[in-house]
Chains A and B, each alone.
Chain A
C-alpha cells in the first residue's frame, strides 16, 4: 500500500458525460501528479500540483481540469467524455515540489461507452 488513495476504482460512463476522480496523497506529501495510461499511449503525464498551486502541465486536454484543495487532496475533472478517454488514471504524490520519488495510487479505471 503506497498510502495514496484514489476513488473510485472503476467508473463506467457514457460519452458526453462528466466525471470527477479523487486522489488523497500520502500524509505529508505536498505534490500531486495525475497520469493517464492507455494501451497505445503508455503513461502520459497530465498535470502536477504543489501545495494547492499548479506547477506543471503535460498533455492534458482542455476538456480536463484539476485542482488541489487546502487539505491537499486533488480532483481530476473530465468532461464531454469521448470513447478515447477510456484509460487508467493514476494519481501520485511526493514530498517535495520538484521531481522526487513519487508514490502511485492504484488508479481509477475509466470506461466510456
Chain B
C-alpha cells in the first residue's frame, strides 16, 4: 500500500527549515528517501532501517518511528538546490524487497 506523504507541496525562502513526513499503514522494515528535480532522475538521499541503522548524505537528516510506521525528512537551512520533489519509499516488514513510493512532496526554495 502506498505511503502517504505530507505536505504535498511546500514553499520556502532560502535558509528556512522544512519537514517532510511519510506515513504507512503497514509495519515497515525500511524507509528510503529520494529527491527528483524536474526532468531528471531521482537521487538517493537516505535509507533508514528498522533497528536504527541509517545510511545517507551528511547534510540530510531523517527519523524513523518504527512503532508509528512514520518517517520524517528534515531539511535545515534550505538552499536553492534543495528544490525538487521528495519521494519516500517504504519496504514492509518481512523482507519483501518491494519498495512502494509515495506520491511525492514538491519543495520550492526561493531566494
Contacts and interface: CB of A to CB of B under 8 A. Distances in A.
B41 A99 contact: no
Interface residues of B, number: 23
Most chain A C-beta atoms within 10 Å of own C-beta, residue among B2, B40, B42, B96: B42
B101 A56 contact: no
Contacts of B89: 43, 45
Nearest to A91: B41
Contact of A56 (B2, B55, B96, B103): B96
Main secondary structure of the interface of A (DSSP, over half): strand
Contacts of B27: none
A-side interface size class:
20 to 34
Given A43-B87, A90-B42, A99 B30 contact: yes
Contacts of B96: 56
